[in-house]
A and B are shown apart, each in its own frame.
Chain A
């Protein structure tokens, strides 16, 4: 099969370029590197005990305060190392002056002034060398708050046991109501997956569509088309190019998916050690989403790439190609804008109609499947319409390709284009 020879060449010459390697492996590695560095930085800052001097003016409050601030870090070190500094309201200015010097000398990271009326006033002041350490401030605030609340409840006459019984966090669980099957817990990560999938679709349709177009322009300007056409028919040549580039895009997506799965697996393993359950981390998305993503990826790519190929055959230079492809790019951009509309209201008539339009379906139907449960017949109809449009389009694009590929000189006008269709 000659088309296989063409696909093989497209795939091999593209996959072996430095640019492909960089985008496919380099970008995820760099992204992972940044995430890892950020994680390390956060971890490093979180795993350092804060050395804090405490000036307590509230009688009897130091013990509950020390208890409240007794949290330990992941590495077992105390989060706060407290140094009690005695002071009275009279000596406070002098003590503070001395502490300020000691903070600047890095003996302490900061000092906390607990006012006499902390329980009623609900406020204290933390003087720190580094006010950018948000985690330290938030932790101090939360723990001091707990100590203050506890003290207030004690005053109200509750026993420590009663207070312990009342304490405790609160968690709101969200459940997605669906027509298909039972109710599924949705932890909110679904939206991120949808964004990733739609982003991947948009990028590959646009970027790799343009790759097809530029490949055709290159063959045209280097005039190798005629040599190729002496060996294969133009339809095979065009489809071979499109499928070869599609294979390249799939290879890239495959590598990314594998890397993502690897990272997710690693994350899951870490989460398991930490005692979390699987369902807390894996988004619950229907299998239909993954299937329709794959089908619409292929159909959408074929549809857009065949038009990009025809545009490539119509023009004689990259600049001309850039101008001519604008309307097609606008359609894709419109699809992305409409995606937000559909996401907000996936079941509306407008959304249903838009998601059936072949040029929008690859993005909008995937969005609908992701955020709601459209009837299966609508998904299948959108696929069928997309396929039919592709088949109808290739009849035309292949003709344009066939005539255009041998043409040089100026871009054809619309009437000229119609004439091409006649004599191809």
Chain B
């Protein structure tokens, strides 16, 4: 697909008997911030490792900015793995320069970049310290710099905020927003829905290795429907049940939440309800509510158990 930063076409990956990822298709447009959501063990990390070309899909194909994923496309992606890892015995500055050079940043330029990034995250004074002299929070920030140091057009962050204290999380979030403003494509996995809700404009939801939902966050929410209509009213409550498309009523006396049928969730449907109620009741307020991503997630995954599919696949913990 033209214009897609990342395009996975029906990719699958099995570990022995366990299908970690099952015919997953995923498209992330250029410049999008895409939340990759799913419970633990749903195949997020396996999918990401295939996109970064650390693992090969058993079937299906992956294109990065239109090129088949391979050794060449690795330079297009900055990757923050879920399992954080740094050379503990190296000096912070030298290690970041090494990682930059590994992504083809010229040695002459790497030094300056590392210095600027370290200053940006307020670790400028630590360049000559060994990595294992740093606190865990500081190492997290170093790990983040490692992902962005080569200035790649695509960033893939696996559970990027896990283990960060609120101050540092906020600092990195600001940097992320800045990178998004620069037009970077960002794919980040998380199981924290409210985080995805705040940052993403695209979401992809997977469960048991299969995609259950994807698209623009706004569309997803719209598709999930504004299934709740909250009305403030004075009058006969029994009338509420008779309104067209109302499946159920949760009445609080002078306000009630109406559960809408899918057809009734459109503007026209709501208008019809209002038209039906207005002559007979005194309506003082009317608000159609979108479900949270968390509600959507729970509803989509539904009654299905959220335990990971089969145990024992060592690498399938994403």
Contacts and interface: CB of A to CB of B under 8 A. Distances in A.
B63 interface: no
A225 B16 CA distance: 23
B315 A2 contact: no
A223 B85 contact: yes
A13 B130 CA distance: 12
Contacts of B36: none
Interface string B100-136: 0111100000000000000000000000000000000
A409 B16 CA distance: 16
Interface stretch (B71-79, B178-186, B195-203): B71-79
A28 B279 CA distance: 103
B98 to A, nearest CB: 5
Interface stretch (B86-94, B169-177, B225-233): B86-94
A232 interface: yes
A222 B52 contact: no
B58 A423 contact: yes
B278 interface: no
Given A231-B74, A406-B315, A407-B314, A226 B83 contact: yes
B52 A230 contact: yes
Interface in A210-252: 219, 222-233, 236
Contact of B90 (A13, A228, A407): A13
A230 B74 CA distance: 6
A227 B88 contact: no
A229 B53 CA distance: 8
A1 to B, nearest CB: 10
Contact of B81 (A13, A227, A232, A423): A227
Interface in A348-362: none
Contacts of B84: 223
A111 B177 CA distance: 99
A56 to B, nearest CB: 75
Given A2-B104, A406-B54, A233 B71 contact: yes
A2 B314 CA distance: 29
Contacts of A222: 85-88
| Overall SS of chain A's interface | helix
A316 to B, nearest CB: 10
A9 B85 contact: no
Contacts of A232: 71, 74, 102
Given A406-B49, A406-B54, A407-B315, A226 B81 contact: yes
A225 B85 contact: yes
A217 to B, nearest CB: 13
A13 B53 CA distance: 28
B246 interface: no
A176 interface: no
B54 A229 contact: yes
B146 interface: yes
A6 B314 contact: no
A6 B85 contact: no
Interface string A315-346: 00000000000000000000000000000000
Contact of B314 (A13, A228, A231, A408): A408
Contacts of A419: 16
A219 B89 CA distance: 11
Nearest to B103: A231
B98 A5 contact: yes
B237 interface: no
Contacts, number: 69
B99 interface: yes
Contacts of B74: 230-233
Nearest to B156: A230
Interface string B25-51: 000000000000000000000000100
A233 B56 CA distance: 11
B49 A227 contact: no
A230 B54 contact: yes
A227 B150 CA distance: 13
Contacts of B85: 219, 222-227
Contacts of B49: 226, 406
Contact of A231 (B55, B86, B102): B102
Contacts of B75: 231
Contacts of B58: 423
A236 B74 CA distance: 13
Which of B77, B85, B88 neighbours the largest number of chain A CB atoms within 10 Å of its CB? B85
Interface in A103-133: none
A95 to B, nearest CB: 76
Contacts of A227: 79, 81, 85-86, 99, 143, 146
A409 B314 contact: yes
Nearest to A1: B104
Contact of B87 (A224, A236, A406, A407): A224
Contacts of A231: 74-75, 99, 102-103
Contact of B102 (A2, A225, A407): A2
A406 to B, nearest CB: 5
A169 B15 CA distance: 81
B147 to A, nearest CB: 8
A10 B135 CA distance: 25
Given A230-B54, A233-B71, A406-B315, A223 B103 contact: no
Which of A2, A224, A229, A230 neighbours the largest number of chain B CB atoms within 10 Å of its CB? A230
A182 B77 CA distance: 65
Nearest to B83: A223
Interface of B: 14-16, 49, 52-55, 58, 71, 74-75, 77, 79, 81, 83-90, 98-99, 101-104, 143, 146, 314-315
Given A231-B102, A232-B74, 13 more contacts: A5-B98, A219-B85, A223-B84, A226-B79, A227-B143, A228-B102, A230-B74, A231-B74, A232-B102, A233-B71, A233-B74, A409-B314, A419-B16
6 contacts: A222-B86, A227-B86, A231-B99, A231-B102, A232-B71, A406-B315
Top 5 nearest A-B pairs (CB, nearest first) are A223-B85, A224-B85, A230-B79, A226-B81, A231-B102
